A and B are shown apart, each in its own frame.
Chain A
C-alpha cells in the first residue's frame, strides 16, 4: 500500500513538473505583424517569406498585363520551376502557397494542379481517367477526353543568397526572391518581380 502511494505521488510530481516546464517554454506568436519584430535568425523565416509573398502578389495583382476585358474569364496558371540557390533547405511551397491562395482569391487566376514542372502536382486527375472502361464505375461520371484546361501562364522563380563579411565582425546576408510569369503561347514574360531581404548579424552565426 505504501509503495503504491509512493509511486503515485512520484508520478504526480513528475507529470506536474513536466506540465509546468512545458507551459513556461511554449507560447503562441502574434502572426498579425510582419517585419516589425526583431529577426530571430539570419536565415529566411516565416515573416520574411510572408512579407515577400505579400509584396510580390500585390505587384502581380496591380500589373496591367493581367487586366481582362471579360471579368468572368480567368487566367489558368501552372507552377513551373523554382530554384533554391541558398544554403537553406526551403520548401518552395511555403512561399508559393501564399501566392497561389491570393491569386485564386483575386478572381483573376485559377491554378492548375494537373500540370507542373516535373509532373502533375495532383495525380488524381490522371488516376480517374484510368477508370474508363471499368464496368464498376458509372462511365457518365468519369471525365471525358478533352475536358482538361491547358494553362495560359506559368509562374517560375529563384531564391538567391549572398553573404558579405562586414568590418565589425558581422556578416550581411541578402536574399533575392525573384519570380516571373510567362505567357505559354508566346514564351514572353508578362510580369517579373523581385524582393530583396537583407539581414546582418554575428559573423559566427550560420545563415540557415
Chain B
C-alpha cells in the first residue's frame, strides 16, 4: 500500500491492483480468477472523474497471468495517456513489468486493455495509467 501510494504521487496517475486469489484453481488454462475489489484503488488526481477504470479481470492463459482492464473516458476531450502493468508473485515480489505504453482515448471512448505476464511466477498485477509525459 505504501509503495502504491508512493507511485501514485510520483506519476500523478491512477493505480489499480488486481489479484489472482483463487489458489486452488489457478494455473489451469483460461480459468477466470476471482478479483479482489478491496484492492481497487483510484486516487483523486488529475485524471480522476475524466478517465475511469470501469472494471478489471484476470485469468491464466497457458499458465501465464492474463489481465484485462476496461477504461472509459468520461470527458468530451481526447486524452493522450500512458499505461503499464507490473507483475508480482504470491509473496508480493515484483517479477516483471511492461514499459510505459501509449494509449489514446477519444471523447467518451471505452477501451479494453489486455496484457499477459511473461513469467509463470506472476500471480498478481498492478495497473498504472497517467497522462503522457
Residues of A within 8 A of B (CB): 31-36, 50-51, 54, 57-58, 61-64, 66-68, 71, 102, 105-108
- Given the interface pairs A33-B82, A57-B118, A58-B116, the reply to whether A67 lies near B62 with Cβ below 8 Å is yes
Asked if B29 is at the interface (CB within 8 A of a chain A CB), the reply is yes
Given contacts A36-B132, A62-B62, A71-B27, 20 further A-B contacts (CB under 8 A): A31-B99, A33-B100, A34-B99, A36-B82, A36-B101, A36-B102, A50-B99, A51-B101, A58-B115, A58-B116, A61-B62, A61-B64, A61-B116, A62-B116, A106-B62, A106-B64, A106-B118, A106-B120, A107-B63, A108-B63
**In the assembly, what is the distance between CA of A107 and CA of B82, in Å?**
29
Asked if B21 is at the interface (CB within 8 A of a chain A CB), the reply is no
CB distance from A85 to the nearest CB of B (A): 27
Q: Are B118 and A105 in contact (CB under 8 A)?
A: yes
Q: Are A35 and B62 in contact (CB under 8 A)?
A: no
Q: Are A105 and B82 in contact (CB under 8 A)?
A: no
**In the assembly, what is the distance between CA of A63 and CA of B120, in Å?**
15
- Size of the chain B interface, CB-CB below 8 angstroms: 20
**In the assembly, what is the distance between CA of A71 and CA of B120, in Å?**
10
Q: Are A35 and B101 in contact (CB under 8 A)?
A: yes
24 A–B pairs (Cβ distance < 8 Å), ordered by A: A32-B99, A32-B100, A33-B82, A33-B99, A33-B100, A34-B100, A34-B101, A34-B102, A35-B102, A36-B82, A36-B102, A50-B99, A54-B99, A57-B118, A58-B115, A58-B116, A61-B116, A62-B61, A62-B62, A64-B62, A102-B118, A106-B118, A106-B119, A107-B119
